[in-house]
């Protein structure tokens, strides 16, 4: 069973602006590999963080230096006219799988709701470029986009919640669940089950969060639910993030574990790790 983490951040310059992340000046590919090997993680998808202007260059270097261990979900500026033309060739970059955005704050949230960035969905659908997003307050808007662009693969980050941008825990952090589950009717919408321990005030194996994982699994199925960590803000080890799924969810069958832990993500984002 291949175990592929749907989201990690690597950086080498300065402290993370998001205080929920490890407040260290660097977390490199080599540091990540050491922890991944210890935790039994085969590969990870890098989401270059905005707080380090060189993080995308670091991600490309990680792909080159560690074949098969890393891929990238990058981003293009949504307010620059030249971005639209770049989408057609986006996946031609080594290791680049797609695009990832945060729509929690304005003006990006307003652009999404008002249709200002409708060109993004159109061009990404044409170019077969998947898009992942953190968009807790915009889930209804995501549904409309999914319906208008059935060929566009959309992925909702962090169980549909705010990830490290909230201090709410357990049930209080999951009040968006009805809106998230409603998106399961669109076959082109998937969910990253990333960072579940970070939403919990409980100790491992985080039983309250298991109930929400079951709801997401029942709605979306194993081919549209992707395990992952966002490890630099987890309250537990990488190994525990793995075993929370592989050992603590009795309702997850062995074939479904293979999908959730890596196979489904690689299929959804088109990552041919053996190539």
Task: Please state whether beta strands 43-46 and 225-228 pair in parallel, antiparallel, or not at all (unpaired).
Answer: unpaired
| pLDDT-based confidence at residue 153 (cuts at 50, 70, 90) | very high
Q: pLDDT tens digit string along 202-254? A: 999 999 999 999 999 999 999 999 999 999 999 999 999 999 999 999 999 99
Q: In the prediction, which pLDDT does 255 show?
A: 98
Q: In the prediction, which pLDDT does 164 show?
A: 84
The single-letter DSSP state of residue 256 is H
CA distance 164 to 104: 12
| pLDDT-based confidence at residue 19 (cuts at 50, 70, 90) | confident
Residue whose tokens read 């260290």: 24
List strands edge to edge, sheet with 4-8.
4-8, 43-46, 70-74, 96-102, 131-134, 154-156, 189-194, 225-228
Q: Name residues whose C-beta falls within 8 Å of residue 275's C-beta, 6 or more positions apart in sequence.
A: none
Q: With CA atoms as reference, report the closest residue to 166 among 139, 201, 191, 215.
A: 201
Question: What number is the average pLDDT over the span 72-94?
Answer: 96
Instruction: Express as a percent the part of the chain with pLDDT over 70.
Output: 100
Task: Give yes or no for residue 102 having a pLDDT over 90.
Answer: yes
Q: Which domains does the chain have, with CATH numbers?
A: 4-269 (3.20.20.140)
Q: In the prediction, which pLDDT does 165 show?
A: 85
Q: In the prediction, which pLDDT does 275 show?
A: 46
Which two three-digit tokens encode residue 93? 């970059």
Question: What number is the average pLDDT over the span 177-189?
Answer: 98
Task: Give yes or no for residue 14 having a pLDDT over 90.
Answer: no
């Amino acid at each position: 069973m291949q175990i592929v983490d749907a989201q990690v951040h690597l950086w080498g310059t300065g402290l993370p602006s998001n205080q929920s992340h490890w407040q260290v000046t660097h977390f490199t590919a080599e540091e990540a590999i050491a922890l991944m090997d210890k935790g039994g993680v085969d590969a990870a998808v890098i989401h270059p963080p905005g707080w380090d202007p060189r993080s995308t260059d670091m991600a490309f270097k990680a792909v080159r230096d560690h074949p098969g261990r890393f891929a990238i979900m990058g981003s293009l500026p949504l307010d620059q006219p030249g971005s639209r033309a770049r989408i057609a060739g986006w996946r031609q970059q080594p290791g680049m799988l797609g695009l990832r955005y945060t729509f929690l704050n304005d003006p990006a949230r307003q652009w999404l709701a008002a249709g200002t960035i409708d060109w993004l969905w159109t061009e990404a659908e044409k170019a077969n470029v998947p898009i992942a997003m953190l968009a807790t307050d915009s889930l209804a808007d995501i549904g409309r986009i999914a319906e208008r662009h059935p060929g566009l693969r959309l992925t909702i980050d962090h169980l549909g919640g705010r990830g490290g941008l909230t201090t709410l825990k357990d049930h209080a952090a999951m009040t968006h669940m009805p809106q998230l589950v409603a998106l399961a009717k669109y076959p082109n919408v998937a969910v990253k089950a990333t960072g579940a321990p970070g939403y919990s005030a409980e100790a491992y194996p985080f039983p309250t969060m298991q109930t929400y994982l079951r709801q997401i699994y029942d709605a979306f199925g194993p081919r549209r639910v992707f395990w992952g960590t966002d490890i630099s803000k987890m309250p537990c080890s990488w190994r525990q993030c793995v075993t929370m799924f592989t050992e603590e969810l009795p309702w997850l069958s062995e074939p479904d574990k293979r999908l959730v832990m890596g196979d489904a993500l690689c299929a959804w984002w088109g990552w041919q790790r053996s190539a």
